[in-house]
Structure 1
Amino acid sequence: MKNNSLVIMAGGASSRMKQSLENADLDEVIKEIAYTQHKSLIPLGEAKKPLLHYLIKNAKDAGYNDCYIITNTENQAFKDLVGDSDSEYEGVKVHFAVQHVPKGREKPMGTADALLQCMQQHPTLKKERFTVCNGDNLYSAGALADLRKAREIPHAIISYSGSGLGFSNERLAAFAVMDISSEGCLKTIIEKPGLEQMEAYRDASGELRISMNIFNFTGALVLSYLENCPINPKRDEKELPEAVRNIVEDDPKSTICLPRSERIPDLTNADDIKNFNLYL
């Protein structure tokens, strides 16, 4: 089964980034781009290349041939960077999927819906395995390559060590913590557990395992979980981690956790734009 496609979710509103820009010590040109475009397109480092550039480059290094970028309808800036759909960028063939907002709603339906719409627009994904990740984290070529390795289990997720991410316990408590079985399979994902609840999920070595929203799915098996994903009552969205929780509830051996320990450059707020220079 083919396993050389990467789906990048880049259709979000970047709300936290935009809220943090007002008092940020940044070049005004960079600020304007951060205000008006998706954060994966903000120029970074001395080369002024956006995160999306580096993510696609890492995908190529990891052996991916196709990249599907999920955007909203206003996606010309993405095309200005990588070309129109079916263009080649950094040695990878790039395709676009648009997450449309349903009638009667003011915002998209969430990440599970984004992936579902991508698979509907590109049915080839239903016949293969593929990796899906956020567009505002720079995942390493090593992590992307791990998800392409042959395995018997249908789905996989990278389980990052909390200590390796380099964040305080307070910040880790705002991430998604993973509960993993003794066989290395995902039992559940706990979103933003808080400091006290988080301690219950340390593994035998005392390590926390964190989900950074990078998965590898068998398309034919994930599809129904995306279609039937419930709407989160607080966010009013269909969230991909909820679909994954339903998968492992139905089949506790369906999703293998692949451990890694490394930092992941991300773009959550304005300070991250300057700090990105440390990684490039």
Structure 2
Amino acid sequence: MKLLILAGGMSSRMKKNIEGNTNLDPKLIEQANTLPKSMIGLGKDGRPFLDYVLFNAAQAGVKEVILLLNPKDTVSQPYYEKLMQVEKNWGLKINFARQLIPEGREKPLGTTDAIEQALAQFPAWKTSRFITCNGDNLYPIEAFRLLLDEKYPNAMLDWDTDGYTVERVRNCAIVKKDEDGYLVDLIEKPNDEEWVKIVETMPRIGISWNIFAFTGADVMPFLEKTPLHPIRNEKEIPVTVRLFASEKPKSIYAIQISDFIPDLSSKQDIADVMQALNYEI
């Protein structure tokens, strides 16, 4: 019943100037420019976006959380420490880890490095089964419930793409699985040639939203051997998962799911996310 939330990025896309006319509240623009994006106040009560992620996880049965934060983040930890003090933390035990930035770099080393650093700071999790996800996607309760199922030691969610534009789908990692439902490959941001093959050979196209369940002992070797991305110069979890699936076939089960995912990547997403956060927590 453990969850690792990756919220240590620099929020560089969120801090870019918004394009075109916008009716966005200037206060929200100010928050988007100054706060970690998962702490932007949204929804009915202006609660941090991350509150909703944690609430949904708790409703599904998660009991313990690690928030992996940027070392420059001075907002998130005090906020959640206060919630725990007044027992308004949805019954969750919330721990805090930091994704330290290597000397000579301005940005963190990627999502795989984030998981490695969190496990190094909480070694007991290395022998546990845990879910890991992004801090800027609003995963529904059902997503956490599906991954809490102990039937599959290592699993991921395979999201339906009905209603998505081709451009949106191609900007994600395409899930390729075998006849038994186990992951074979993750095709990240397919090029034109790869996309034509996907359309011709896959009757259903599913995508990953970077939420996985891992058994620590199983995934650790692949975290450690993940190479730097040749362009982004970061260690990324889709590459880790590809290695895992390639070297240990039938190890990662891909569970189909159809819920829509509100994604808080840039200022353009804020209005859509506000509409999705229309419930009390």
Q: Which amino acid aligns with 1:176?
A: A
Change (3 A) 1:244 1:269: same
Rounded to whole Å, the distance in 2 between the matches of 1:128 and 1:251 is 19
Could you list the per-position Cα deviations for residues 220-266 of structure 1 after superposition, in whole angstroms to 9, with x for gaps in the alignment?
A: 11112112210111000011111111111111111000000110011
User: What TM-score do the two structures reach when normalised by structure 2?
Assistant: 0.92
Identity %: 38
- In structure 2, stretches of 5+ residues that fail to align are none
Q: Which amino acid aligns with 1:181?
A: D
Rounded to whole Å, the distance in 2 between the matches of 1:167 and 1:79 is 35
**For residue 66 of structure 2, what is the aligned residue in structure 1?**
68
Q: How does 1:91-240 map to 2 (within 5 A)?
A: 91-151=91-151, 153-163=152-162, 166-194=163-191, 197-201=194-198, 206-240=203-237
Change (3 A) 1:93 1:259: same
Does structure 2 conserve the Cα–Cα contact (< 8 Å) formed by 1:169 and 1:195?
Answer: no
User: What TM-score do the two structures reach when normalised by structure 1?
Assistant: 0.92
Does structure 1 conserve the Cα–Cα contact (< 8 Å) formed by 2:2 and 2:62?
Answer: yes
Greater mean deviation of Cα atoms: 93-102 or 80-89: 80-89
Does structure 1 conserve the Cα–Cα contact (< 8 Å) formed by 2:10 and 2:70?
Answer: no
Matched, 1:271 2:268: yes
- Report the aligned-residue RMSD: 2.0
1:189 partner SS: strand
| Cα deviation, residue 22, structure 1 | 6.4
2:13 partner SS: helix
- In structure 1, stretches of 5+ residues that fail to align are none
| Cα deviation, residue 13, structure 1 | 1.2
Could you list the per-position Cα deviations for residues 101-143 of structure 1 after superposition, in whole angstroms to 9, with x for gaps in the alignment?
A: 1122222111100000000000111111000000000001101
Correspondent of 1:28 among 22, 26, 29:
26
Greater mean deviation of Cα atoms: 17-26 or 37-46: 17-26
2:132 partner SS: strand
Greater mean deviation of Cα atoms: 252-261 or 11-20: 11-20
Rounded to whole Å, the distance in 2 between the matches of 1:35 and 1:274 is 16
Instruction: State the aligned residue count.
Output: 274
